[in-house]
Structure 1
Amino acid sequence: MQPYRICANCIMDTSDSKITFDSRGWCDYCNNYHSNILPHWHPDERGMRELEPVLEQIRRHGKGRDHDCLIGISGGVDSSYVTYLAKAKFNLRPLLFHVDAGWNSQQAVNNIEKLVDGLGVDLHTEVVDWQEMRDLQLAFFKAAVPHLDTPQDHAFFAGLYNFAAKHGFKYILTGANYSTECVREPLEWHYHASDLRQLKDIHRRFGTRSLKTFPTADILKFKLYYRYVKGVQVVKPLNHVPYFKEAAMQELVDKYGWQKYAHKHYESRFTRFYEGYWLPTKFGYDKRRAHFSSLILTGQMSREEALAKIAVPAYDEETLAQDFEYIATKLGLTVPQLRELMAAPNKTYRDYANSMTIMELGTRVLRALGVQRAIIR
């Protein structure tokens, strides 16, 4: 284990065990941003010129259909802003797709409703069977892994892509972006939610009921069958326009009565607990380091501001106590039982069956073919 060290440029540190530093004290995330992301990222007029032919293809594809594209919406700022751009700026006719996995906050529900009403767009909601979701969620708690949010994340992406393929959607617009996500979270902090093999293995070991309706899609179906057989393409509009998180949220507030939330991903009460308490308390991983470092690199936050924010726990004691009891009760546990799960020996994705070998091989092939740019982590 290397001695503690923090990047001289962002705030990533040795809580990522594989982080490296150059002679300036800059980490590999910062060097990756300047070498592999920034030269190819054009959130300006050039980016819009690159995006416009894609938008025209989407419009042509949608002729004669009720909707021309699909947008997965969580109620968070990224997916909300993409929805706003698609309808109000790009003249598209999106269908919003939301997966209700049982953990929505009031803010998330409000934000989706405000956009649907304000923009006049249609919404399809897929409700995950709670008994199955609860059983799978408990299995991940018992597995004692960092990536506790995998059941929810897998349901989101699998539900979205399965729906797109089934109903003939060729274009999915997502809120993925470099502006707030150019520093990718280390694999040991957040393992691939798309690894169906791991999800099934953890559920086989610790689950108690069959997942008869829970939405699933393995990496081969997602990366190959849906993309190259069904023709489903993913478009990331936020990488082609100026996108500044605080300004985007304020614009949504002013136009639609959208509600702000404390931090990235905290539109889900469960994700707030997982990122704000489970990860930093049990494993020493604070995802805010990656989130704030992305904002530092893209000029939306100073390093000094990030250091001040990271020094304050994500939770105040009163909110933590409320969420701890809420999570335990919703999962059918007592507070002492949830504390026992917190105290169990820590595990990693390597302790369970996984598809890392085939994922790494696939990544190398895609990079060799020029389909995917080499970006670390």
Structure 2
Amino acid sequence: MDICSQCILPGGQAGVALDEKGVCNHCRNHEPVAIQGEEKLIRILEVVHNNAVKYDCIVNISGGRDSAYTLLALVRDYRMKVLAVNYANPFTDPQATKNIANMVRILDVDFVQFELKNNIHERILRNNILAWFKNPTPALVPAICIGCKIIWPTILKIARKNRIKCIVNGGNPYEYSTFKKVLLGVTDNANLKSTYLKNVKGLVKETLKNAHYLKPKFILTTIKGYLFSNPYALGSRLISGKLTFLDLFHYIPWKEDEVLERIQEELGWDYPRDLDSSWRFDCRIAHLKDYMYLKTLGITEKDDFYAKMIREGMIERDEAIQRVSKENKLHLNLIHDLFSQLSIDSINLENELYQ
């Protein structure tokens, strides 16, 4: 497999094309990420700060590194009155659960945790995994994350109940995988806010190719997932009123070393060392996603993430190659544990990978 001579993406996969010099189209067309600046962030936070209410904002925390840093920054750097909110994902890694407890205790913030009813997350995940293996396609790997797409109505309800006017998330602009958009027919340079309808159109088109996703008992949940897939989705916008949504690292630079250093020193944050990566370990479904992308594309989200970091001058290409060689290692034992939790025993992971 030929890979780009500047980043690490392979040619011929998910819209990646190498020229005669071996440079991919993403590197040729790259434009530096533009953040909006801390001054603008501070102005917005000053507007939403309200002495008349108990909380200025919500910060969603998962136990992962970026949401931990976001909570830390909002509390200690910007002196905001924060309500920490967490969806009790039944597939949360145990270390992420410890991280959540530690950060809430150390920062002394109020904390609300909620669950989804009727085991809907487990049931629709099981259905969508089985559906995917009937017809493996990289475009529908995100369908296994539908359970976390339906949490936004509850988060918005918590905000209204507490008269909160701002929700801050820890997403950073480097982690929105380009190949996911390309697989759905969305241009590679389109941003999250402007591509919602195109993403949904692409997902619906792909879903209709596999009837196993369309069981009547899951259709409403699937529609809800499409409507509320993120804060900028149609459903979220319709019911959010005048809520302000912020992504911290769209305003201040995301610096991996600084993020890790601060949360480890100030919050006692950690990650499972046997995974070789501190990124997105908090949900155990991520291991299955890696498997699915490797089976169908030969790469994972980490390849795309580190390719972006190379283009931004954040890491050297050799370091990125070393990272993916370690971090793309499949943890089949953890996927087997996930399948056991879901009572899935009909899939032979070892055989499926090479078919």
TM-score (ref. length: structure 1): 0.73
> Superposed, which structure 2 residues align to 1:1-377 within 5 Å?
5-14=2-11, 16-21=13-18, 25-34=22-31, 37-38=32-33, 40-41=34-35, 47-59=37-49, 62-129=50-117, 131-144=119-132, 145-164=140-159, 167-178=162-173, 180-181=174-175, 184-187=178-181, 195=200, 198=204, 205-206=214-215, 216=225, 218=227, 222-224=232-234, 226-227=236-237, 230-261=241-272, 262-275=277-290, 277-312=291-326, 314-315=328-329, 319-320=331-332, 322-334=333-345, 337-339=346-348, 343=352
Cα distance in 2 for partners of 1:342, 1:218 equals 36
Instruction: Give the letter for the 1:187 counterpart.
Output: K
Q: Secondary structure at the match of 1:164?
A: helix
TM-superposed CA distance for 1:323, in Å, is 1.2
Cα distance in 2 for partners of 1:146, 1:231 equals 33
Instruction: Give the letter for the 1:9 counterpart.
Output: Q
Q: Secondary structure at the match of 1:253?
A: helix
TM-superposed CA distance for 1:329, in Å, is 1.1
> How much is the aligned-residue C-alpha RMSD, in angstroms?
3.7
Instruction: Give the letter for the 2:279 counterpart.
Output: K
Asked if the contact 1:173–1:235 (Cα under 8 Å) also holds between the matched residues in 2, the reply is yes
Aligned residues with identical type, % of pairs: 17
- Cα pair distance change 1:227/1:155, threshold 3 Å: closer
TM-superposed CA distance for 1:32, in Å, is 4.7
5+ residue gaps, structure 2: 133-139, 186-195
Asked if the contact 1:77–1:249 (Cα under 8 Å) also holds between the matched residues in 2, the reply is yes
Cα distance in 1 for partners of 2:264, 2:342 equals 33
TM-superposed CA distance for 1:182, in Å, is 6.7
Q: Secondary structure at the match of 1:186?
A: helix
Which deviates further from its counterpart, 96-105 or 300-309? 300-309
Asked if the contact 1:279–1:285 (Cα under 8 Å) also holds between the matched residues in 2, the reply is yes
State the partner residue of 2:192: none
Instruction: Give the letter for the 2:286 counterpart.
Output: T
- Cα pair distance change 1:248/1:340, threshold 3 Å: closer
Q: Secondary structure at the match of 1:311?
A: helix
Asked if the contact 2:227–2:235 (Cα under 8 Å) also holds between the matched residues in 1, the reply is no
5+ residue gaps, structure 1: 347-377
Cα distance in 2 for partners of 1:311, 1:222 equals 34
State the partner residue of 2:189: none
Q: Secondary structure at the match of 2:91?
A: coil
Cα distance in 1 for partners of 2:353, 2:328 equals 22
- Cα pair distance change 1:295/1:210, threshold 3 Å: closer
Q: How many residues align?
A: 327
Cα distance in 1 for partners of 2:354, 2:302 equals 24
Cα distance in 2 for partners of 1:53, 1:104 equals 35
TM-superposed CA distance for 1:239, in Å, is 2.9
TM-superposed CA distance for 1:64, in Å, is 1.4
